[in-house]
Amino acid sequence: MATEREARIADAVLELSHCAGEPDASDLLGGLAFHLHDLLPVQAVAVAQVDGRGRAGRSVASTRLCRDLLTMQLKLAEGPCWDSLHSQESLGPVRCGSRNPRWPRFDLYASSAGVTAVTAIPLRTQNAKAGVLMLVNTTEPVLSGLEVRVARTLAGAATACLTQRHSIRDLRQTVEQLQSALHSRVVIEQAKGVLAERFGVSVGEAFSRLRAHSRRRSLKIRDLASDIAAGGGPEELNPHR
């Protein structure tokens, strides 16, 4: 029989992976941080986004200390979150205060701030780095291996929703571009017919004149064609005006 906590975890996964509409990335990652803080034995949670070049972007953190700890790692390019982001592997819980030679500045900063352990989990959308998740323990016990798996599952649900959101946005952009290209084609064909009739030339010659004029005047061919198709156009291409 499932426990109450297991049911809450399942509800969180469902909510994060099936957010209605097109949620803002910050809201979605804020929801991820909320669920992790609520469901796991951690004292603070932070999530940072990265752009297509791997540079830090917006971040969400449950405490000021947590935000500063995450920002410090990304700024100094040192710490479990930095390594997790670039290796795309989960790290931790990493104990602080042990004078870890791998991250000496991070270890000193974290232990001085009273941090017991940090767990870092990378976030991905499709084939791109999306960010990094940091879970902070300031007391014992620290996260278990099973609890880290729960965190990875919730993070995966959130990034799956982000991937869907990006796919919808990209699809809309593609549709808009195709519609614009189709409209341009129709207008140009109409303008070619108008010019062919005006000058008594072939459609091919009409297009050559249309293109040559747009180049000489540094005009977009679509805009010029639209004017001609509506019965107007410059004097050189409208001798009957």
- Does residue 167 have a pLDDT over 90? no
Computed over every residue of the chain, the mean pLDDT equals 79
pLDDT tens, residue by residue, 123-148: 876 655 678 899 999 999 999 998 89
pTM of the model as a whole: 0.62
- Does residue 168 have a pLDDT over 80? no
Q: Which residue has the tokens 């004097």?
A: 235
**Integer-rounded Cα radius of gyration of the chain:** 29
Residues ≥6 apart with Cβ < 8 Å to 145: none
Q: How many CB atoms lie within 10 A of CB 155?
A: 24
pLDDT tens, residue by residue, 65-93: 899 999 999 888 999 999 998 888 999 89
Mean pLDDT across the stretch 165-185? 60
Q: How many CB atoms lie within 10 A of CB 35?
A: 23
Backbone conformation region of residue 88, classed left if phi is above 0, alpha if psi is from -120 to 50, else beta: left
Mean pLDDT across the stretch 187-213? 81
